[in-house]
Amino acid sequence: MNNTTIGETNDSIKKCPVMHGGMTATGSTVMDWWPEALNLDILHQHDTKTNPMGEEFNYREEVKKLDFKALKADLIAFMTDSQSWWPADWGHYGGLMIRMSWHAAGSYRIADGRGGASTGNQRFAPLNSWPDNANLDKARRLLWPIKRKYGNRLSWADLFVLAGTVAYESMGLKTYGFAFGREDIWHPEKDIYWGAEKEWLAPSDSRYTDLTKPDTMENPLAAVQMGLIYVNPEGVNGQPDPLKTAEQVRVTFARMAMNDEETAALTVGGHTVGKCHGNGDASTLGPEPEAAGPEMQGFGWDNPNMKGKAANAVTSGIEGAWTTNPTVFDMGYFKLLFGYDWELKKSPAGAHQWEPVNIREEDKPVDASDPSIRHNPIMTDADMAMKMDPTYNAICQKFMADEAYFRDTFARAWFKLTHRDMGPKIRYVGPDVPAEDLIWQDPIPAGSTDYDVAAVKAKIAASGLSLAEMVATAWDSARNFRGSDLRGGANGARIRLAPQKDWVGNEPERLAKVLSVLEPIAKEAGASIADVIVLAGNVGVEQAIKAAGYAVEVPFAPGRGDASDEQTDSDSFEALEPLADGYRNWIMKEYVVTAEEMMLDRTQLLGLTAPEMTVLVGGMRVMGTNYGGTKHGVFTEREGALTNDFFVNLTDMAYKWVPAGNGVYEIRDRKTDAVKWTASRVDLAFGSNSILRSYAELYAQDDNGEKFVQDFVAAWTKVMNADRFDLHP
């Protein structure tokens, strides 16, 4: 056979089959035979092997060295520096940059805290190829010279949000502020469920129990169709009906933690500038970035009819600007929406859109490429919802009566949209961080470090609380931490406040008893109750370690604060309520997903690895911390001692495992058939799953009893300190 090199094309040469051996494409994996197997990969993403920056690199310290003033000046200049390969609408990239920022941030959902702008994930699949993100690849590529210039001191994630914020400033909005500190990831997130659909923009029906009731959308999803950020701009399933769209908008934005006023402000302010693009035949566009050929270099949606004119772009299919002056942040949106009647039309790309009836020529925006031409403005179905829905209409009337109020409300909503997943304000970096504490930031006052920790531990130990009570309370206080949006955790001691104190999973009666003992100890010592709850858990763990015959101290760092009711947005905390906790062998009711899958989800949100999950479950079982004191999985004769008995007995072939109904299994002696223990699905996962069993066998070894204790303490401390951003910002 003739030789050829990579990249050569020779149709006369037949391609040779090559048994290259590597699983080099994503179309199949070694686990495709068993699609129901636990996806433990979600626990080990974004590790050091994929990160080219090395373990010593600390972005949050590097970004502090950034020349913030120079960067902002460069972005201001960039906005009007139109490039021939992707010309700016009206010579201003503001609208494009705002859309990029919005769509980066708008993937956030409050149900699990996943999505959002804080990781720079818009660079990767699937987001880089969502239909709703069409042509945002151009926005990112336009920004590349700025990213290249500022290098490691400026993450893509920060730049995405900053570009939209500066765009607003350049068009006349006084923004509320901006914070740096978002660190880039280096490959697509493996943990986020975006929906079960296998096609872009599949009808919404499958996402709802009842499509006529928007609040029946599948949790944790917020977008109404696969590949959208929010709602279909043409209407429900592409059928215009502003009142139906209004209900979808309301639920979608609520699932993103926005109320009606914030939703209206964002809709109006987002559409006050820029335009939609649908001036052409969408069928002629090339494939999305992930499907495009190598010659496209990551560009998707290639438009053969662009011809160097901004006005020829095709993105959503809707065509036109919302306002008369689309490069100025003004009140023009209200003037047109409420000043004219609107009728349904079709764009050149065939999309449904609303256009004004008998509009004055001077109210029409000029063409994005040719200022001598004017076009009708447009509204989407979501825009018409602002006028036709009574609640949104009333809010808009309030905005129209007070421009200053509208501007401030929008600026605050934009800040919330773009910072919602950054965690508390202690993590904010830069000169434009607002001084005000906002309730959605879950503020926590500083806690004391000036108290005698040893004396507090001694009082806790003498308090009469049981080991299980102390450990379970500390765990419950910390376990709702979410690494996705950095909410929850033990800091703030919100477990003693509504709604957490009443959550079923927190065993309110037991919790109240423990708090009644710990609160006086905290008050007397001058310590926060948050610290004392964690300290009590540590005391319990140390008692269990001693009972196992080891002497290991559990690390403790004082300084947690106690949040107040006034500092707690109780409604938003409802999303953090646990429905199951595999670590305490509890599930509220039977769900479609298995108990072990729910444990895996919780583990990922806690930022734990599979080995850490394994040691924590094994340790919690033998300490007797199960919900309600059940004995499922307590595979030991030495309950209360931090031994490796859970693993020793789980892996012992002297026993067999027999289903007993209702998700319970009996552990029976193979010789006598006598029931030795009972177990849940979660317990047995550590023996049935081949990966988890490998960890279980490790910890079951005779020589790893002390290793188990050491590893448990490390994992326990990691959970207790997960939200201590003062220790690891």
Burial status of residue 553 (CB atoms within 10 A of its CB: 0-12, 13-18, 19 or more)? exposed
Cβ density class 687-714: b for 16+ within 10 Å, e for less: bebeebbebbbbbbeeebbeebbebbbe
User: CA dist 200 to 195, 204, 228, Å?
Assistant: 11, 11, 9
Q: In sequence order, which residues have a C-beta less than 8 Å from that of residue 538 and are 6 or more positions away? A: 457, 474, 554, 556, 720
364: three-class secondary structure by DSSP? coil
Six-digit token pair at 688? 């049935």
Six-digit token pair at 625? 């911390």
In whole angstroms, give the CA distance from residue 541 to residue 470.
9
Type of residue numbered 1: M
Strand duo 352-356 + 580-581: pairing: unpaired
342 phi/psi in degrees, rounded to 5: -130, 145
User: CA dist 234 to 209, 246, 344, 347, 418, Å?
Assistant: 22, 12, 10, 11, 25
Residue that has been written with the tokens 């130990």 in this structure? 461
Is residue 476 within 8 A of residue 495, CB to CB? The reply is yes
In whole angstroms, give the CA distance from residue 486 to residue 481.
7
Q: What is the distance of C-alpha 584 from the center of its chain?
A: 25
Which one of the listed residues 20, 44, 46, 103 is annotated catalytic? 103
Bridge partners of 343, per DSSP, are: 355
Is residue 565 within 8 A of residue 497, CB to CB? The reply is yes
In whole angstroms, give the CA distance from residue 399 to residue 377.
21
Is residue 157 within 8 A of residue 183, CB to CB? The reply is yes
Is 103 considered catalytic here?
A: yes
Nearest to 540 by CA among 599, 468, 590, 479: 468
Bridge partners of 191, per DSSP, are: none
Give the number of other CB atoms < 10 A from CB of residue 95.
Answer: 27
Sign of CA pseudo-dihedral 211, 215, 216, 221: positive
Is residue 386 within 8 A of residue 337, CB to CB? The reply is yes
In whole angstroms, give the CA distance from residue 514 to residue 525.
17
The radius of gyration computed from the CA coordinates of the chain, to the nearest angstrom, equals: 28
Kindly list the catalytic residues.
Answer: 103
